Amino acid sequence: MPDIFSLASDSDIFSGNLAYSSARSATTGTISGTTSVTNNAGITRFSARGGGNTCRINRLFLDFDTSGVSVAPSSATLKFAISSILGSNNTNLIAVKSDAFTGGSDALQSSDFNNIDISTPYTDEIDIESASNGDTIDATLNSDALSDIAANDNFRVALINHAHDFISSEPSDTSTRSVSITMTIGGSQAVKVSYVAGAAASGPANLTSLNGIAKASITNVNTIALGSITSINGVS
């Protein structure tokens, strides 16, 4: 099972201490640092003078070089090690699609904070609450993720809090619900995608896509198996 390690440009970006809705919809944040030993994903709610409350949201952005994968894997798993868990409830995460790393040379920049696609989750809710410090988490990547791994030179993911960031729901108390993740490059605790290579689609050798759909994602055309077709629209 091949592994693709996350790149050294990864980091979390955190919002200012703002009203919940403003923190969640912020267009910019602060990069914790790409040389940090750990980075965080989660949310903290603070008390404020006058009885108001503010929140700070951390989103962890991950970048994987998938230029060597041209066929959608048959399966893949996002793996990361927990350094520490801050909070005992509602710390679960979810991986969603991201178009971050918009700086020069694909660097992460502060304006990438809102470069997430909530409508395209890459995993189910990731169970952190039953885990312990030092545990490695295996999160199964779904079909959208498998397709994007094959279709893009870089597979980009944001790890965010499930209960309060993915689902728009402000915490009701003042506490921290955050996961600190180990950010080693290589090794057993590295953030990585482990995958099982998929089989290349058969059919016309020169066909790369049909109606905007990549050949690797086509199984049949007009109920005919792709492997049984010798040419489509003159392409053989």
Q: Encode pLDDT of 180-204 as tens digits.
A: 999 987 778 899 999 999 976 666 7
- Residues 38-64 have a mean pLDDT of 92
Taking residue 77's Cβ as centre, other Cβ atoms within 10 Å add up to 18
Three-state DSSP at 189 gives coil
Q: What is the pLDDT of residues 109-126, one digit of tens each?
A: 999 999 999 999 999 999
Q: Can you give the pLDDT at residue 187?
A: 79
List CB contacts of 58: < 8 A, sequence separation 6 or more: 12, 13, 14, 32, 39, 40, 41, 42, 43, 178
**185 HSE (CA, 13 A, CB side):** 10
List CB contacts of 54: < 8 A, sequence separation 6 or more: 17, 18, 19, 20, 23, 45, 46, 48
Q: Can you give the pLDDT at residue 154?
A: 98
| pLDDT at position 48 over 80 | no
Residue 179 is encoded by which pair of tokens?
């996961």
- Residues 122-143 have a mean pLDDT of 97
